[in-house]
Structure 1
């Protein structure tokens, strides 16, 4: 009876250890993101944490490490203003495995798993597809008054 109990405890501990860092084991530490722009064929530069940098022509699929979040995406196209966006990674479903394990195990193993997942940015992901709208680069009328208080000036700003 004692042997069976010891074997059961060892198996339960092994299972808990196997489930620790479940997002790292089951999930991915990077996300495949489809980047689209209006207009198509824009050149987008991506930069993020830990030195992540990449360039793509849209539409494009790119694999982005989750630890790079937040990622700045700056897109340019002829006849359009350069436009920047921020791409953030958010928690995915696997991160909740550590919460369930925390409740089941009393905490010790789950905290280890959460630390491993956080260090690898597992349990986070980017949106599968992002669509960025670029604004046309056309002159905008600006109304100004001269310093002497006289004439109104009509100018074109870019």
Structure 2
């Protein structure tokens, strides 16, 4: 998530920075900015004698409603991990743990990579692969895997 863009969105329209948390919601960002800008213009210019500007505020409200609808639809379409693969995932966790604890790091890495292939949206799978990779002495690659797991955990919050 781009923190600077989230700060701008939140300063213009509090709470709208949450639009950036889900990848499919990016089309709503310009709509939110446009709606907020038009609304601010409408508020600033709606004084006695400027009644012709009021429709601009209604346009802003319409854009805001459209942004909320797009954000809601995108949020509903975001792929979430399913529990149907649980029967295949649990044995792989056990296999990784068993191989790691017995010192067979090659088998542990192979099982951890299969686990990541099945449960790529689970931060725990990436952390387990990072653990095995670190035990093999590849600390740079393990750090990358840990960062990926942290991004997945952050996306779930």
- Considering the TM-score relative to the shorter chain, is it more than 0.5? no
Higher helix proportion: 2
Kindly indicate whether structure 1 or structure 2 has the higher relative contact order, using CA contacts under 8 Å at least 6 residues apart.
1
TM-score (norm 2): 0.24
Q: Return the index of the structure with the highest Cα Rg.
A: 1
Length-normalised TM-score, structure 1: 0.24
